[in-house]
Amino acid sequence: MIATVAMTPTAASASEIREIAHSVANALVVRLKAAYPEPSQIARIIRAQDIVLQGAMRQEATRWTVTAQNGTAGAYPVTQGKCPCPDQQFNTGPCKHRYAVALMEKIAVVLGTAYYANVGESWGIAWPEQTGWSFLALEPQGTMTQGLAMWQIDVHGKLMLSKD
């Protein structure tokens, strides 16, 4: 099954980008929960999403600084997938700070490579991934086709140039 897709590079206002980033974060959290279904990891993923959506982190030259969520005024430096927090030191799997950094970095990649896209009646964004393209429906519109490049998407999410 192949659906016709209209795509154009995203050029959005700051508020639209925040809304899209929030939607992308939600979609990525669903993927993370599926990849790490243990209850303790799901709890960390949810807390990481809160960190990202609250903006409780900042990127510096060679690391991310993630604000502590335990009521202290501190922060943890996350560098090259390592975090010095107690949770990371004494438990298996990534801590919420590492998940927050991974989420933020993936959101940045998605926003930097995303296209607005229509798939059938669904309007949203599409972005390239290693195995093809991902599509995130933002709202049902089906109206953004005038002047856009036409693409096709197969059932595996792979986009191809349309012959239309």
User: pLDDT by residue (tens digit) across 134-160?
Assistant: 778 776 443 333 333 333 344 344 443
**C-alpha distances in Å from residue 17, one per residue of 28, 82, 128:** 16, 29, 18
Query: pTM of the predicted model, to two decimals?
Result: 0.72
Assess whether pLDDT exceeds 80 at residue 104: yes
- Give the type of residue at 96: K
Q: What is the dihedral of CA 127, 30, 25, 12, to 10 degrees?
A: 40
What is the residue-averaged pLDDT of the chain?
Answer: 75
Over residues 117-127, the mean pLDDT reads 76
Element (H, E) at 43: helix 39-54
Pairing of strands 132-140, 159-161: unpaired
Nearest one of 133, 115, 109 to 12, comparing CA atoms: 115
- Give the type of residue at 137: A
Q: Could you give the CA distance from residue 99 to residue 107 in angstroms, rounded to a whole number?
A: 12
**Which tokens sit at 68?**
């502590």
**Which tokens sit at 62?**
């060679």
Between 36 and 20, where is the model more confident? 36
User: pLDDT by residue (tens digit) across 29-62?
Assistant: 998 999 999 999 999 999 999 999 888 899 988 8
Q: What is the pLDDT confidence band of residue 120, given thresholds at 50, 70 and 90?
A: confident
Q: Could you give the CA distance from residue 106 to residue 73 in angstroms, rounded to a whole number?
A: 27
Sign of the C-alpha dihedral, residues 40, 42, 45, 50? negative
Between 162 and 74, where is the model more confident? 74
